Amino acid sequence: MKKLAKTINVTLKVWRQRGAEDKGRFDTIAAKNISVHMSFIEMLDTVNEQLTLDGKDPIAFDNDCREGICGTCGAVVDGQAHGPQKATTLCQLHMRKFSDGDTIVVEPFRARAFKVVKDLVVDRSVFDKIIQAGGYISVNTGGAPDGNAIPVSQEIAEKAMDAAACIGCGACVAACPSASAMLFVSGKISQLALLPQGKPEAAMRALSMVRVMDSCGFGNCSNHRECENACPKSLSIVNIARLNREYFKASFFSDEI
Amino acid sequence: MEFDAKIPAGPLTDKWDRHRFELKLVNPANKRKFDIIVVGTGLAGASASASLAELGYHVKTFCIQDSPRRAHSIAAQGGINAAKNYTNEGDSIWRLFYDTVKGGDFRAREANVYRLAQLSNHIIDHCVAQGIPFARDYGGLLANRSFGGSQVSRTFYARGQTGQQLLLGAYSALMRQIGAGSVELFPRREMLDLVIVNGQARGIVVRNLISGALESHAADAVVLSSGGYGNVYYLSTNAESSNVGAIFRAYRRGAMFANPCFTQIHPTCIPHTGDHQSKLTLMSESLRNDGRVWVPRQPGDIREPQDIPEEDRDYYLEQKYPSFGNLVPRDVASRAAKAQCDAGKGVGLTRCAVYLDFADAISRDGKDIIAKKYGNLFDMYELITDDSPYQKPMMIYPASHYTMGGLWVDYNLMSTIPGLFVLGEANFSDHGANRLGASALMQGLADGYFIIPYTIGGYFAGTALSMVSAEHAAFKGAVREAAESSAKLMSIRGKRTVDSFARELGQIMWNYCGMSRNEAGLKKAIQLIKDLRAEFWENVLVPGTDKEYNKSLEKAGRQADSLEFAELMILDALERTESCGGHFREESQTAEGEAKRDDENFSHVSVWKYEGYGKQPEFHKEPLVFENVVLSQRSYK
């Protein structure tokens, strides 16, 4: 019972920005009587209920599934994308990780390629653009052979699944000193390059996705491994190594341009 | 009114083949002349958008999220059924069909369900070709597991993230078509109205959720795949933006609504911890394959689970249902859990939970095997509750999860409005009164990949369509109405937030129209809803303006819909005085307290037609005819 009763008071220093053109600023907002069982998002809900009743503008933030899989939520909390807990999205970060009296700094995922929409909401549509450039296997509905026609070793299937676990939240970009999207891109390239079904297009995919990634204003990987550390799904930078291999292989040995 | 479900004649096994042959085709060169609007990008919407574009149609796809990849299909954990019989256990299309009709408690159409079972195998083939990393056996072939009440292993899975992987597959296919210029994508749009011209669905009005602008989009057909309405209960496993709005507004424009009271309460969710709770997280029911459900034998036993010896534990599912045990269907497991908690045997902080214990499985198979199967689910549980299921039994409690009801559709998945097609959870078609585990992914993808591509062609080829643009007066009228409705919500400036109304409505629905229902409670609920709705329109507080990003306004519009729609659910629940599937009507039970179906009086789909705000909707029946299955009372003992 004592667990349920426990509440804390914290102070939010939260980024407020009316739109992409606005300069933005930090606002200081008190969050009182926060149950430690709340998720960070539920804490923001609670603060917003109060702001609304006080006639103030609620804090804009994205979220949807609230179970760590849709990739919609995300903010930089105390300098870390998705906050201090490893392998955890903001919606799964619970207030028990904070202490009474804490001041918590909350900012949007910042990157040149992610424009701020409002407050903590950013535009990550460039991720969709990168996938459009080749993050798929070109099979039309209708012609697939039997699912068991091509065996895939368990090891390869598991590795592909590791790479496919990406939720597209953008924490890797926000955490990277050069705002690189390499971890995101490498997840998809790895998944499809590992599986036999993805091999026919592997060269085109690597070249095309990297080209679009570069054109969107993302930086280059600088091996800081901040992305891996911030990734709520613990995607490994092994995938970036695989991306580089695929990219070089395609650049030197394929007919694709 | 006569309902023509357009079920093809002939033997069950030949109906779909025959129908595909009889459907008229659109000349390939003409397909690009047809515009199709798809609302929603979950499994059904994304697969439909991609497949229609592959055929050459021009598709405009809308989603409420910032990216189509975030639709709530992504959260489905457990798996997808198919009748492959890779495990040599005697599965077949017929068996999957039979199990699904039986699981739905004989309240679904035979022909639709048989087609679903037929298509299940194609889905797996297609998804493998897309590069979905399904689990594999050591030999490299696809792995299967048994799931939710099934006695054969027919469920394909990708760890505990099957929905995510299938959705990303459909999303990839959609992205490919966007890249090719065949699909135009409109993210962060919410459908506010359906536009009908000459009796045909010809477009939609949406709000741009970033700018607040109202936009009109015309097309030759509209496909709704906007999901279910489980958030009427407020606390549910659905995502925040999952809502009834798109289908409810189509209902208000004349699309009839089928079986709105058929909702599914999922037995294995993480219990709530207090009033701040905004959602309940599902723990995949695959956990029931290895977890044992129990409560203390004595009410009020507050010892920690590890301190309760074996003889003081009540493994009530294994006791009561020896042949299915912990794998009884969702509704049975949910009601049993609630009954234990109502009897004072609940556990945890709120005493609204039962244990799901893995100790036996861990000592039998070892921690590694269990971690391999459920590792990510256990991690997720620990993140939320701060307890490790490796050390301490999980605590679970039922929560609203899925809605079997939805817009009425015929065999072609077309609603009662010509040109309005409805796919996935948004329609009512395949799950009857209860959905089996791992069947939702199957249905969403069957509808999108393998049904709508044919049936929409049949519609176009056999229908005269006039030229309609977004400048048509019908669009202007719909935009004006949407603007007036927002302005009204903004102008109230009352004293209660939208969420406070959502919570209160949810509580009413959970108490009176949840796992079990009775006449007195339902009648009481109608009055409570009417009162709450009246208060909403006088006292809701929506800050900001309607010309900007305004989440409060979005929520207020959805809440206004929910407050009307909830009443329809109750009317439907009142009308159906039998117990069936997930619908347990207390007046209709056996001597042992099990659900008692009434085939004589209720072997029908309940269909409701909107008659205007505040008016009693018109009630119709579509009789269900069973020629191939024998109606039996479900028994899991």
Annotate B409-474 with DSSP letters as a single string.
--TTSB-SSTTEEE-GGGB-SSSTTSPPTT-HHHHHHIIIIIIHHHHHHHHHHT-------TTSHH
B447 and B509 in a single domain? The answer is: no
Tell me: the pLDDT tens digits for A49-85? 999 999 999 999 999 999 999 999 999 999 999 999 9
Secondary structure class of B303 (helix, strand, coil): coil
Residue B3 lies inside a defined structural domain of this protein = no
Range of the domain at B585: 473-598
Q: What is the largest CA-CA distance in chain B?
A: 74
| Contact (CB<8Å) A35/B276 | yes
Residues shown for chain B: 637
B285 and B300 in a single domain? The answer is: yes
Instruction: Indicate whether A2 pLDDT > 70.
Output: no
Secondary structure class of A121 (helix, strand, coil): strand
Enumerate the residues of chain B whose CB falls inside 8 A of the CB of residue A124: 66-67
B78 and B201 in a single domain? The answer is: yes
Residue B630 lies inside a defined structural domain of this protein = no
A20 and A99 in a single domain? The answer is: yes
Separation CA B300–CA B319 (nearest Å): 21
Tell me: the pLDDT tens digits for B114-167? 999 999 999 999 999 999 999 999 999 999 988 866 889 999 999 889 999 999
Tell me: the pLDDT tens digits for B264-316? 999 999 999 888 899 999 988 889 989 999 999 999 999 999 999 999 999 99
User: How many domains are contained in chain A?
Assistant: 2
| Contact (CB<8Å) B69/A140 | no
Rounded to an integer, the average pLDDT of B217-246 is 97
pLDDT of residue B350: 83
A130 and A214 in a single domain? The answer is: yes
Instruction: Indicate whether B332 pLDDT > 80.
Output: yes
Separation CA A239–CA A161 (nearest Å): 12
Give yes or no for a contact between A257 and A204, defined as CB atoms under 8 angstroms apart: no
Nearest to B326 by CA among B351, B301, B296, B358: B358
- The secondary structure of A187-250 as a DSSP string is HHHHHHHHSGGGGGGHHHHHHHHHHHHHHTT-B---S--HHHHH-TT---THHHHHHHHHHHHH
Tell me: the pLDDT tens digits for B183-216? 999 999 999 999 999 999 999 999 999 999 999 9
Query: What are φ and ψ of residue B130, in 5° steps?
Result: -75, -10
Nearest chain B Cα distance for residue A29, angstroms? 18
pLDDT of residue B149: 66
A232 and A135 in a single domain? The answer is: yes
If you measure CA to CA, which chain A residue comes closest to B243?
A: A64
Instruction: Indicate whether B222 pLDDT > 80.
Output: yes
B19 and B62 in a single domain? The answer is: yes
Residue B467 lies inside a defined structural domain of this protein = no
Range of the domain at A244: 124-142+149-253
Average pLDDT of chain B, as a whole number: 95
A41 and A83 in a single domain? The answer is: yes
Enumerate the residues of chain A whose CB falls inside 8 A of the CB of residue B129: 137, 139, 143-145, 197
B165 and B220 in a single domain? The answer is: yes
Residue B330 falls in the annotated catalytic set: yes
What's the CATH number where A248 sits?
A: 1.10.1060.10
Q: In chain A, which among 83-122 make CB contacts under 8 A with chain B?
A: 85, 87-88, 92, 94, 96, 117-118, 121
A89 and A163 in a single domain? The answer is: no
pLDDT of residue B637: 73
Separation CA B613–CA B563 (nearest Å): 12
Please name the amino acid found at residue A32: K
pLDDT of residue B1: 57
User: How many domains are contained in chain B?
Assistant: 3
Nearest to B143 by CA among B158, B161, B162: B158
If you measure CA to CA, which chain A residue comes closest to B157?
A: A161
| Active-site position among B249, B288, B313, B330 | B330
Question: HSE-up of A181 (CA within 13 Å, CB side)?
Answer: 31
Nearest chain B Cα distance for residue A215, angstroms? 15
A155 and A231 in a single domain? The answer is: yes
pLDDT of residue B193: 98
Q: Which two tokens stand for residue B351?
A: 């005493």
Residue B2 lies inside a defined structural domain of this protein = no
